[in-house]
Amino acid sequence: MAEPILVVDNLTKNFGGLAAVSEVSFQVHPKEIVGLIGPNGAGKTTLFNVISGYFAPSRGKILFQGKNISGKPPYVLAGRGIGRTFQVVKPFPGLSVLENVVIASFLRHPKRARAEEHAWKVLEFTELADKAHQSAASLTLAGRKRLEIGKALALDPTFLLLDEVVAGLNPTEVDHTIDLILKLRDRGITILIVEHIMRVIMRISDRLVVLNFGQKIAEGPPGEVARDPGVVEAYLGGGEA
């Protein structure tokens, strides 16, 4: 197998006395889609924030393309090829959809005209081109989630962290977004995705990593993980369902 693109090695993130993520290790290989699942509060978003540079790890390290990136700020990681979306979408509401994507395009295309050209391509790809001149605030939730993906995509990332890009969408929009994610993979982008909707995560993931109370409790192909007694207990046994 090829060199892993991302290595999470014994990663711990403490907030005060609370270990939100505790000694988690896993790897992601190029062109894989890896699903990160777990009950609410399992530490998925914290793990995302550490990998994308928003939090520095308390212990352990993260290697991206063989280089240690632990504690590097998000804007440096964006330059290295890591794109991310936010669970609570972060469009720039006062700016147009096009401007939102142009800003992300500046990373690879510092000239404004080239950045706009690039942004239009991204908008075509994410099917937002007809809304380009609307303000980002006027988009529907589905539109805002697509814009979120579009902005991450405009960075020309090699690795994409998707945080609940499907949650809150209706079934048609869900299928639409799944198609979009699969298209990204076909473009050669490696994806780590957090998602609560099992139908989605089971369908698109090559492998799953399961977290509970900040610890990794299972890892493997979706079919296998779904039958894992520890995972079933985490989801059903804790009184959560």
Partner 1 sequence: MKDRRLLGYLFVFAATLLVPAVVHDTFLLRVFTEAVMWIGLAVTFDVLAGYTGYLNFGHSAFFGIGAYTTAILMVRAGWHFAPAAVLGGAAAGIGALIAGFPTLRLRGAYFAIATWALARAIQQLVLIMDVTGGPDGMRLPAFLSPRFFYYVMLGLVGITFFAYWFLLERAPFGLKLKAVREDEQGAKALGLNPTKLKMQAFILSAVPTGIIGGVFAYWVTFIDPASTLGDLVSDQALVMVVFGGMGTLVGPVVGAILIFAFKTAFWAYLSDYEVLYIIILGAVIAGSVVFLPNGVLGVLPQRGRRNGPSPEEKGPGAVLPETEGGNSHG
- CA separation for the pair 202, 223 (Å, rounded): 8
- Report the residue count for the chain: 241
Cβ 78 to partner 1 shortest distance, Å: 4
Site for partner 1 contains 106 (CB under 8 A): yes
Segment interacting with partner 1, rule: CB under 8 A, options 3-11, 67-75, 178-186, 217-225: 67-75
Cβ 175 to partner 1 shortest distance, Å: 26
Site for partner 1 contains 54 (CB under 8 A): yes
- CA separation for the pair 25, 105 (Å, rounded): 32
Site for partner 1 contains 99 (CB under 8 A): yes
Segment interacting with partner 1, rule: CB under 8 A, options 5-13, 62-70, 90-98, 205-213: 90-98
- Please give the order of strands across the beta sheet that includes 67-68: 18-28, 6-15, 59-64, 67-68
- CA separation for the pair 161, 98 (Å, rounded): 22
- Residue 149 near residue 106 (C-beta atoms within 8 A): no
Cβ 179 to partner 1 shortest distance, Å: 24
Two tokens, residue 217: 């409790």
Looking from the CA of 58 toward its CB, the CA atoms found within 13 Å total: 15
Site for partner 1 contains 71 (CB under 8 A): no
Site for partner 1 contains 48 (CB under 8 A): no
Per-residue x/- track, 138-177, partner 1 (CB under 8 A): x------------xx-xx----------------------
